[in-house]
Each structure stands twice: as C-alpha cells, then as structure tokens.
Chains A and B, each alone.
Chain A
Amino acid sequence: MAFDKNNILEEVTGKEYAFGFTTPIDTDKAPPGLNEDIIRLISAKKEEPAWLLEWRLEALRIWQNMQAPAWAHLQYREPDFQAISYYAAPKQKPALNSLDELDPELRRTMDKLGISLDEQKRLHGRAVDFVMDSVSVATSFKAKLAELGIIFCSMSEAIREHPALVRKYLGTVVPRTDNFYAALNSAVFTDGSFCYIPKGVKCPMELSTYFRINAGGTGQFERTLVVADEGSYVSYLEGCTAPQRDENQLHAAVVELVALDEAEIKYSTVQNWYPGDKDGKGGVFNFVTKRGLCAGYKSKISWTQVETGSAITWKYPSCILKGDYSTGEFYSVAVTNHMQQADTGTKMIHLGKHTTSTIISKGISSGRSQNSYRGLVQINRNAAHARNFSQCDSLLMTDRCGAHTFPYIEVKNTTSKVEHEATTSKIGEDQIFYCLQRGLDEEQAISLIVNGYAKEVLNKLPMEFAVEAQKLLAISLEGSVG
C-alpha cells in the first residue's frame, strides 16, 4: 500500500501546470533595465500627464535608496532588477471599439483561461477587465455600468479620462515610501484596473480582473485602485495565471482600496501564478502590497484570498480602520506544495473607535514547502472599544513541510479586546482511511478533507469563484499526503 501512495505522488507531481501555455502574439517590449529613461519611455508610451511622470520619477528615486525586505521567512535569490523589461504590451490597435476587434490569439488565450468575455457577458453578468503582461486589453460591460455612474476601466484609461479622481487617491493608501516593492511599482506600473462607485450605488454585478503574465523576461507591475464613495457597495474579483517558464518572473503589484462613510468593498483573489516545477525551478515571485483604507464612519473592507500559486508569495492585504465603527476582515487560504514558499497574512490597524476586525487564516502545506502566517493587530490609543478576533490554523500534509505563525499584537487602548487562536494539525491518516473505507479514493478524500478545513474561507467567496477555488485546491494538493 505504501508503494501505491508513492506512485500516486510520482504521477501527480509530474502533472503539468494547466495554465502554462504562452500566447504567440506580437509584443511591444522595452529593453531590460531600470532608469529614468525607461520611466520616461513608459510614461510617454502611455501619453501620461506631467504630474504622473514626476510622481513616477520621485518613486524611482525613493526606490533607489531602499533595500529589499529581508524579514520574511523566505529564501530566494533577489531578482536582478536591471535584467527585467519593464514594459511589455501586446501589439494591437491601441483602442478597441468593441470586444470583437480583439486579436484572435488573445481571444483564444482568454478562452483557455476559461474567461471568454462573451461567455462572461452571457452567463454570469460579471464585468471583466483583462490585463495581459502590463496592459489592460479588454473591459466588458462598461456601458451598462456607466449608466449607474460606475467607472470600471483600465488604470491607463482612468488616468486619461478621470485624472482628478486618480490624482486624488493614487498613493494615498500605499505611499511610494511604503516599502521596496511598492516604490518599484509606483515607478514602473504600466496598467491595472480602476474602479469608482458613486455615492449610494450598490454595484449590481461582480467586477473582475484577470491578470496574466505572458511575455518572457518581463515582470508584471499592475496598479489597482478601488474607491467606494459614501454608502456604496462593490464586490471585486481578481484572478491570476502565468505561463510555465524556467526563469523566475517578478510580479509586484499594488492594490489600494478606499471606503468612505458606510461604504463596503469586498475584494476576492484567486491567485494561481505559476509555482515553479517540483524541484523549485522557475515560478513567479509574487511581492504584492494590498491595503484598504476604511476612511469613513461604518465603512467595511473585506479581503478574501485563495493563494495556490507562485514560487514565492509575500503578501499582506491589510486594513486601516480609521473611521469610527469601521470593519476590516481577512479570510485566507494559502496552499504551498513542492518547493513553494509563502509568507502571507494581514495587518489590521485600528485607529477609530469601536472598530472591529476579523482574521481567519488557513494554511495548508505539502511537499517540502514553507508556509508562514504573519499578522499584525495594532490597537492605537484612540481606538476605544476596538475588537479583534484572529484564528490561524495550519494543516500539514507531509513531514517535510513547514508551517509557521508570526502573530504580532500591539494594544495601546485598555478598552479593547483582542483574541487570538492558533492550531496546527497533520492531515489525519484516520480521516483519510475513513473516507477510503466508504469507497472514495485518496485524491477525493484529500480534496474533501482540505475543502472542509478551508470551508469558512471558501464560503466568503462569490459562488462561482468558490467552485473554481475548490477545484484549484484539489488540483494543487493531488497526491500530496506522505
């Protein structure tokens, strides 16, 4: 029997990453390297206003004086930032009048990813923005959203069409000085999504962006900004894949969310960047800064993430709870297999009175991977009656993987209440045997047990995304017990 298990392990570890294709379309790519000229080139290509060019150049100067963070529980060779090309755009007509004008190869790519825009339109009523390499190539449903005053478009378009809004909020939640990768992104970001929900509007459909790195030798540096004005609501989804390449590709995104009085933003991510092969060759380095500002009274920001991809994940979607009675939530499932490393978690910064935050983190480690939860709960002096509840669970699938929890708690107000629970368990041979005895095979057993374990988080995802995420969990962990 022990033999069989190894066979299954062999078989599925040999399994190829399903999204590892490349799309043979012409790319307009800048020469590798990072300097003022490149920044000027990007800004010129995008026909940006002078203030933005200045903003970028300042970010570059800040970045040049910073060091890559070394505190995470991660081991890797720092990327050579001068070997990366900072601009790669699919070559095609600059403006599309309709989706039908899309490059047929691009269309095929989307179909392979299961995000045919037509399908999306017909079946789900979900608005999709598709970002390949660094440029947003298609946004659906725009007209319908515009009727409600909702702006949902690529960042480049927002800079052209809604410069005042962009200028007002860009860099207010994640300043250029925030960290090494945020500074880098501020200097070189090429596109991303922008979303504005006007006062009192409940966005009637999920807004989603699919990110894909396609070209080789490039990085992806997208910038997302979501602003929910007073009393509005939006649910935003983000999905990511990348081709299979032997080199490590860098992804350094910044996501900023702003929720004004009584506004709510629900931000969900299913991250499936290429994780590298089973010996740790290749894979995406995912260094992402995501932060939400609950600026207003009773505002709410909720992050839900299912992280299965990337060779390295460095990511802490956070909430600054500034408005009184505001709420921050973080629900996370992070899976690591083979040689993957993840250092992920959240920061909940309580500034306002009666602010509440909830953290539910479920780590699943397999193979020889390393999976760390790192979280900060900070209750500031004026945050009277603030409350936090954190629960961090780790599930180990093998004896060779690692799970680590680094909770930091800083409380400066005595009327607050902070609760932290943590558990670590090994997937039960007894549980698996129980399933086998009822006729399920080992893969099904693991899938059931793991999805049960992660259920609290998966339940927070929009329905169709949840189904996708469940499948992804099963695929990421096939045959991984040992």
Chain B
Amino acid sequence: MLSIKNLHASIEGKEILRGLSLEIGPGEVHAIMGPNGSGKSTLASVLAGREDYEVTDGTITLSKEGEAPIDLLSLAPEERSREGLFLAFQYPVEIPGVSNLNFLKAALAEQRKHRGLDPLTAREFLNLVNEKSRLVELDGQLANRAVNEGFSGGEKKRNEIFQMAMLEPRLAILDETDSGLDIDALRIVASGVNALRSKDRSFVVITHYQRLLEYIVPDFVHVLYKGRIVKSGGRELALELEAKGYDWIREENQPASV
C-alpha cells in the first residue's frame, strides 16, 4: 500500500527526517511513537505534501492491487488527497464563515470527480452525513457550524474523524488524535476509527501515549527517534515504552554506540 524508502526531509535547512523507511500493507494499522520533536508530525506533513518541507532524498510509493504504483512525491497535496490519503491534523484549523457541511460537500465532490463519479445529490449527501456523524457521536449542530470555529479540542478531533469517515480514504494518518481528549472522547474517537478499519484501508496512528493503542489495537508499533525508525515490533513494544519511557531508546541511540 505505502512504501517509504530512505526518506530525508528538512525544513528551513534543518534536516528532520534522516533516512526513514517504512512498509505498510493493505488493511494494516501501524502505530508510530516517539518523544516530542522526533519528527512524527514532520512525517505526516511530508506524506500529505506540505510545501514548507523539502524532501532531499528517498522515495514514497503508493500502490493498490491491480493498479500501477504512484510516486507520491510527484503529486500536489490535493492530488494525494484524491488518491485516498487523509491526514487527521494534530491541530485542525478554523475556517471562519465556511460551513462544515459546504466544505465537506465541495471536498467530496472533488474526490468523486477524480474517481469519475457525479457529485451526490443533496439528499444522498445528507444521508451520508447523518450516518457518518453518528459514528463519532458528532452533534448535528457541529456539522452545521463553520469549520472547527469555536469547537472544543475534543470536538475538533471528532470532526477530523467525521471528515475521514465521509471521504473514505485508503490511507489515513492520525496525528496525535488522542492528545487533549478525555477518556470518553477517546473511546468515541477510537470506536469511530475501528468502525472504519477494513482490509483495504490502512492507518498510521501517531501517538505519544500507549493509552490510545488499548482502544485502537495496532498490528505494528514503530519508534521514531531523531528522524529515523529505530525500533519496530508488535503491540508489546508500546507496553514496553509505557513501562520504561524513552530513555533506553535514547541510550541505545547515542552517537557513540552507533
């Protein structure tokens, strides 16, 4: 599904990702953990095509069975989105005066156009909104308000998952979707995500805490440290990190010991 090889990326001349490689198969859920500043959000931004970041080396390939693989780096952000890449932002932005529903309607129409489909009728669209907003227990009121404007932190994160449910991506990247959520909101968000798991939809779940992974059980756990994946394992790696913290990772990766 997604193949990242030897990815190097920098911002303002500062190298943040330093040879990151990762293989994600269809339907898999990969958790990416790591201390603050290790480059997790940078990875998400580079995948989504944010232009502030300069990719200096490496490749990212998106593939789907029966289709020619796509060089993700050659695509503009909106094209990546239309190819099925979705990013749930760590800090979703507010767009005053733009109704959440109009925004989604326009986005969905673009996604469908790319797949050769007509836009949904108003009725079909509203039915879809009803169905998907229930997934994350999003109040109908929120759907009608301006995009994220005046939403609480938890509401913003639920809105991200709602949008994901509406756009049905094949690769979803969740950047610290759990941060700032209380336990109830966390459960709601996680059950929304779980409902969307399927054999041809993959997830990259970026998180600082293993708590989220009790609800969204990953197939693989990776530790990102100083711009590289330094350790990979199964679910038990998250528990180990929780118990031992990140210090042992730091020690293992001292420049002297490399």
Contact B93 A438 (CB under 8 A): no
Contact B51 A453 (CB under 8 A): no
Which chain B residues in 134-167 approach chain A with CB under 8 Å? 146-147, 163, 167
Choose the segment among A245-253, A372-380, A426-434 that binds chain B (4+ C-beta atoms closer than 8 Å): A426-434
**Contacting residue for A439 out of B51, B97, B98, B111, CB 8 A:** B111
Q: Closest residue of chain A to B85, judged by CB?
A: A437
Choose the segment among B73-81, B180-188, B198-206, B243-251 that binds chain A (4+ C-beta atoms closer than 8 Å): B73-81
Q: Shortest distance in angstroms between B112's beta carbon and chain A's nearest beta carbon? A: 9
Q: Which residues of A contact B110 (CB under 8 A)?
A: 439-441, 444
What does the 1/0 interface line of A429-455 toward B look like (CB < 8 Å)?
111011111111110100011011111
Tell yes or no: B231 within 8 A of A by CB. no
Contact A456 B97 (CB under 8 A): yes
Q: If A448-B106, A452-B146 touch, does A436 touch B78 (CB 8 Å cutoff)? A: yes
Contact A439 B167 (CB under 8 A): yes
Secondary structure at chain A's binding surface: helix, strand, loop or mixed?
Answer: helix
What does the 1/0 interface line of B50-88 toward A look like (CB < 8 Å)?
111000000000000000000000001110011000110
Contact A437 B81 (CB under 8 A): yes
* A391→B197 CA distance, assembly (Å): 47
Which chain A residues in 415-434 approach chain B with CB under 8 Å? 428-431, 433-434
* A428→B93 CA distance, assembly (Å): 9
Q: Closest residue of chain A to B114, judged by CB?
A: A439
Q: Which residues of A contact B48 (CB under 8 A)?
A: 433, 437
Q: If A1-B51, A2-B51, A452-B146 touch, does A437 touch B97 (CB 8 Å cutoff)? A: no
Contact A440 B78 (CB under 8 A): yes
Interface size on A, residues (CB 8 A): 26
Tell yes or no: A4 within 8 A of B by CB. yes
Contact B81 A451 (CB under 8 A): no
Q: Shortest distance in angstroms between A331's beta carbon and chain B's nearest beta carbon? A: 14
Contact A452 B77 (CB under 8 A): no
Given contacts A434-B89, A452-B96, 16 further A-B contacts (CB under 8 A): A1-B49, A1-B76, A429-B52, A433-B48, A433-B50, A436-B49, A436-B78, A437-B78, A438-B81, A440-B106, A440-B110, A448-B102, A449-B98, A451-B97, A452-B97, A453-B97
Cβ contacts A to B, 29 pairs, < 8 Å = A1-B76, A428-B93, A429-B52, A430-B93, A431-B93, A433-B50, A433-B77, A434-B92, A434-B93, A435-B103, A436-B76, A436-B78, A437-B48, A437-B78, A438-B103, A439-B81, A439-B107, A439-B110, A439-B167, A440-B78, A440-B106, A440-B110, A441-B110, A448-B98, A449-B95, A452-B96, A452-B146, A453-B97, A455-B97
- Taking beta carbons and an 8 Å cutoff, which residues of B are in contact with A? 48-52, 76-78, 81-82, 86-87, 89, 92-93, 95-98, 102-104, 106-108, 110-111, 114, 146-147, 163, 167
